[in-house]
């Protein structure tokens, strides 16, 4: 890599919703790279609460005061996207040994298949238990998730949880 080449990293995920744990990784990751792209993708194996465009908009608002970080949407393989934007690395957050085991295998595959490195950042202790799935579950039951997500996310989660609850009630009434 030449001295003038920008060190660009991609932090990929569904971010449904973005959590304070994600934000912690982003804020620490921007110190390691010249530019950090938070890449919002879709995973057909995951149940989605917020639509794709909503997630991108929320993240853009959340990142507005973080220099050298931006959000983009992508489809397809993460390594293909990373190569297309000239990234030198993929950034991943690690919460626990289960994350490490899975991410280690993916990182080795990405290096062999696409020649792209993965940089791991351990999440801060206060976010080690946080997951988007847990947050969605708590929100769907009317719980308070304000300590787990950036403020920009709260209204979106509450609105969607209310819509889902109304839809469930409607289904039960029609049975």
Q: Which residues are catalytic?
A: 22, 46, 95, 132
What are the strands of the beta sheet with 69-73, ordered from one edge?
A: 69-73, 35-40, 8-13, 89-94, 117-122
Q: Which residues contact residue 119 at a Cβ distance below 8 angstroms, ignoring those fewer than 6 apart?
A: 9, 29, 32, 89, 90, 91, 92
Residue 101's contacts (CB-CB under 8 Å, 6 or more residues apart) are: none
């Amino acid at each position: 890599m030449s001295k003038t080449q920008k060190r660009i990293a991609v932090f990929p995920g569904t971010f449904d919703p973005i959590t304070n744990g994600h934000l912690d990784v982003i804020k620490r990751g921007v110190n390691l790279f010249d530019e950090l792209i938070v890449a919002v993708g879709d995973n057909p194996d995951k149940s989605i609460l917020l639509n794709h465009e909503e997630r991108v908009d929320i993240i853009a608002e959340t990142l507005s005061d973080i220099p050298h970080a931006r959000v983009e949407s992508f489809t397809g393989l993460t390594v293909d996207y990373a190569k297309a934007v000239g990234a030198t690395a993929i950034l991943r957050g690690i919460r626990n040994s289960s994350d490490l085991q899975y991410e280690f295998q993916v990182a080795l595959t990405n290096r062999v298949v696409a020649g792209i490195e993965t940089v791991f950042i351990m999440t801060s202790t206060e976010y080690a238990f946080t997951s988007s799935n847990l947050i969605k579950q708590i929100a769907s039951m009317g719980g308070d998730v304000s300590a787990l997500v950036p403020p920009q996310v709260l209204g979106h989660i509450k609105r969607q949880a209310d819509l889902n609850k109304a839809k469930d009630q409607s289904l039960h009434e029609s049975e």
